[in-house]
Structure 1
Amino acid sequence: MEKLTLEGKHQWEYYKAQIDLVEFAQWKGYTINSLKTSRNYVVLKSDGDIIVVYQNQNTGYQGYFNPLDTKDNGSILTFEYNRSNRNWRVVFASLDGFLNEQNTGKLKKPKKVLRPTAPPEAQFDAEYDFKFEPLFDISYLTQRGIESDTIMADCFHGQVFNKTFEHNGIHYVNTVFPLRNQTGVVAAIVRNTHYNKIERPRGDACWISNLALPPPKKCTMVITESPIDALSYHQLYGPGPQESRLYVATAGNLSETQPNLIQYLIELYQPQQIILANDNDKAGTQQNVKLMGLLLHPTCPCNLKTTIHLQGQKLFFSLRYEIEKPETLIHELEAMVKRYFKTAQKFVASRKDGWVDVHLDTAPIHFEELETLLVNEKPPHHWLKIHRPYTKDFNEDLQLMAKRDPNYSDMSF
């Protein structure tokens, strides 16, 4: 039952359209991890191998990632190719065997319906060498008040490097933080005392503290604007005895596609709480609002989604409950807007698909009101928490505490 093109080659699009990757993986012996599976992603495992399947909203076909091997990702053909000794004859024999059983009615597993999800924006380039070196010089970090015990903590292992270069006869050592998405490392933050650059376009990539799936205990995700702030936060507010931490840094202002990667991490790790530890300034408040609006709890039956757009001094945002019939809760959203923006000059309009659009002419004075709305109204309550630094950011807090008292690790703001 080989499906061939007129040129005699296998028709890849046929297999992508006809075969459900979740069903095929189960046919190959994988089992669904129901605790990690959500409406966006299905997590399957087999003898230590883990894959995450999603519905690519751009192609309409299913794709997958391997969280333990970023080079292992793609379509159903890539999945089978990487598990068939890279032999295409074996790949197509396996796919055709599955289709034969499916057509004869032997396969009766219920189909998982996935919500279409954006694929990764930036792509790993195997030809590019970032020249990462093992961490041997931590002087830049210690100058910022970060202790060696913090730098060497398990959750930061393999996520901080050095990079050396010569210029005008002078030898320099930079500290480097890799930025990655589901496909691998695509960019890097390169730092020293007088240098701050992102090497290669970051796209949707973030700095992520640890990649190993955490054990089944309390996991907290902490989102900061820089890895330096993440290390500082860890030193100032370390995890509890039964708490594992996943730190995510956006490398500056949030890009349009980074929330997609962060949502993927949320689906995969399912943190019990997310702490937004962004800067204590206007840009940090905007980052908090954007993240709170877009990030969705993986199992909450009534997520509140908010999209935000700034145009000069004008603020446009839209609210909708992510339920089967969102139009039934339009009146609740309209009342919510009226309650939190009592004195604001605003235009409010509802749509048949459940969205409520709000236009405000003076964005700066209303961002805190929108932040308060999301803190109070976004379910589940207390899942998203804002932790503002005392100064501009948590590294400045760390350095300030060190100046005040050498025992700053025992103090808190």
Structure 2
Amino acid sequence: MSYTLDWERVKREVDIEQYFLFKMGSLYSFDKCKKAYVLHQNGNHGDIIRFFHHERSGVKMYYSIMNQDSGDIIQFIKKRILNNTSALPGEINQELRLFLGLGNDDSRIKVSKTYFAQVSEEVEPTHYQINGDIIQKISLHWEYLEQYRKFNRDTILSGVFQNTLFTYRKDNTTSLSYFVKDISGDVVGIHRVFTGKGDYFNKKWFDVNSKNSIGFTFSEKPEVTETLSVFESVFDAMSYAEIFNPANTQYCSSNGELSFSKAQNIKEYFTSNSFDKLVLGNDNDISGVYFNLNIVSAFIKEIQQVRKTTETIILDIVSVEHKNFNILKQFFRRLEYIPTNFRDKDLEMTYYTETLSQNSAKFIFIIGNTKDSIQFFVGLLLKIWRLDEFVRIHQPFNKDFNEDLIQQKSLSNE
């Protein structure tokens, strides 16, 4: 019997969380408060998945809050990957072989520190540790970068991006990768892209224990730097650079996650590095405009919090100047009560006052969780607080700037 058929050993030693990140890491983001992974669908929160160790067996398992089900890695493959609780052993083993980079080879798997997690490991470790090999050469990935992403090699090897990409080899998997760093420059993770042929082509996932909730991918800073440009993906940043070739610019990628607290880190980085201009190049979809809202709000000291439901977005604003408040409230309907259900669409473009003390009040503004509503409100904030003097929102024509680059090159070849 081959090792992959020894399911009891697989349950004990193959890390279900790393398998989940490999398969679904680009769709979920880690929520530090919930200590769980949250699915984003059309800008809304979906399922929440948490990992834990079974009290008796020590096997690492998953729990889905939305579907109210749990299980080990074998059950996860059946329910979530194959969508077939009666899946045959061969189908499950094929998934495991692909994950471990074995293809159809039934040879015995070597135990490794990466794919075979110790039972005592925490779900959220206190720090990130690089366990694989970092290889500076990216020659393995030229076809992916030049043919699939449509980059000129000069862009990849330019001064600002020449140190961004590298090859990361971990066990039997080799990937195109880039660092995730916090705003102080410390490495807190690695984002990986599979560029080889097969089912996992262009699959993106974070190296296990990566902390994207506080991390970004930064380009090099030119000697003279005036502008910080923010994107969701490093490939969007590189595409923007190739299309527009702006001078004196450093690029920052959020890697698809940008909460209000993470946006506050961008504000701190912008301020501490004395940039003059901020360009927001997030995607042309509801997630992209929500990221814009979080960043713009982070630059307004009166905004304490931004949070959202499936239908509404709620902002807590305190100590706002009378002039600014008078302009803002013209676009909103005043509520005389505290809403009991923020999901109610009738609450869009409303506000109410929450008394904090005799001399202090908080204003709760509620907008619709739609692309048009968020875009309008972002424009309003930019004008009222005069942030448009240094903040520019540059929205791609297609979904993102890499799609713009691909379309531009396709048209030029027609």
Per the normalisation by structure 1, the TM-score is 0.57
Amino acid at match of 1:274: L
Structure-1 residue corresponding to 2:119: none
Distance 2:349 2:282 in 1: 29
1:191 aligns with 2:182: no
Asked if structure 2 preserves the Cα contact closer than 8 Å seen for 1:204 and 1:255, the reply is: no
Distance 2:310 2:251 in 1: 32
Distance 1:261 1:293 in 2: 12
Aligned partner of residue 188 in structure 2, secondary structure: strand
**Stretches of structure 1 lacking an aligned partner (at least 5 in a row):** 1-120, 297-302, 321-325, 408-413
Amino acid at match of 2:403: E
Structure-2 residue corresponding to 1:286: 290
Q: Residue 159 of structure 1: CA displacement?
A: 1.8
Question: Do the aligned partners of residues 402 and 304 (structure 1) sit closer, same or farther apart at CA in structure 2, a change above 3 Å counting?
Answer: farther
Amino acid at match of 1:147: N
Q: Residue 269 of structure 1: CA displacement?
A: 1.8
**Stretches of structure 2 lacking an aligned partner (at least 5 in a row):** 1-123, 196-200, 335-347
Distance 1:279 1:122 in 2: 31
Structure-1 residue corresponding to 2:49: none
Amino acid at match of 1:400: Q
Asked if structure 2 preserves the Cα contact closer than 8 Å seen for 1:206 and 1:258, the reply is: no
Structure-1 residue corresponding to 2:72: none
Query: For the aligned residues, what is the CA RMSD?
Result: 2.8
Amino acid at match of 1:363: N
Structure-1 residue corresponding to 2:105: none
Per the normalisation by structure 2, the TM-score is 0.57
Amino acid at match of 1:262: I
Structure-1 residue corresponding to 2:162: 157
Structure-2 residue corresponding to 1:263: 267
What count of residue pairs does the alignment treat as equivalent?
Answer: 262
Distance 2:259 2:125 in 1: 12
Distance 1:332 1:149 in 2: 50
Asked if structure 1 preserves the Cα contact closer than 8 Å seen for 2:134 and 2:166, the reply is: yes
Amino acid at match of 2:389: H
- What pairs up with 1:6-405 in 2 under 5 angstroms? 125=128, 127-137=129-139, 138-143=142-147, 144-164=149-169, 167=172, 173-181=174-182, 182=184, 184-193=186-195, 194=201, 195-199=203-207, 200-202=209-211, 203-210=213-220, 214-215=222-223, 217-240=224-247, 244-295=248-299, 305=303, 307-320=305-318, 326=319, 329=321, 331-341=322-332, 346-349=350-353, 351=355, 352-353=359-360, 355-360=362-367, 362-364=368-370, 366-405=373-412
> What does the per-residue CA deviation read over 1:49-83, in whole Å, with 9 as the maximum and x for residues that have no partner?
xxxxxxxxxxxxxxxxxxxxxxxxxxxxxxxxxxx
Distance 2:157 2:125 in 1: 29
Structure-2 residue corresponding to 1:410: none
Asked if structure 2 preserves the Cα contact closer than 8 Å seen for 1:136 and 1:162, the reply is: yes
Distance 2:164 2:259 in 1: 21
Distance 1:267 1:273 in 2: 10
> What does the per-residue CA deviation read over 1:260-286, in whole Å, with 9 as the maximum and x for residues that have no partner?
432232123211111100000011111
Distance 1:336 1:149 in 2: 48
Question: Do the aligned partners of residues 350 and 401 (structure 1) sit closer, same or farther apart at CA in structure 2, a change above 3 Å counting?
Answer: same
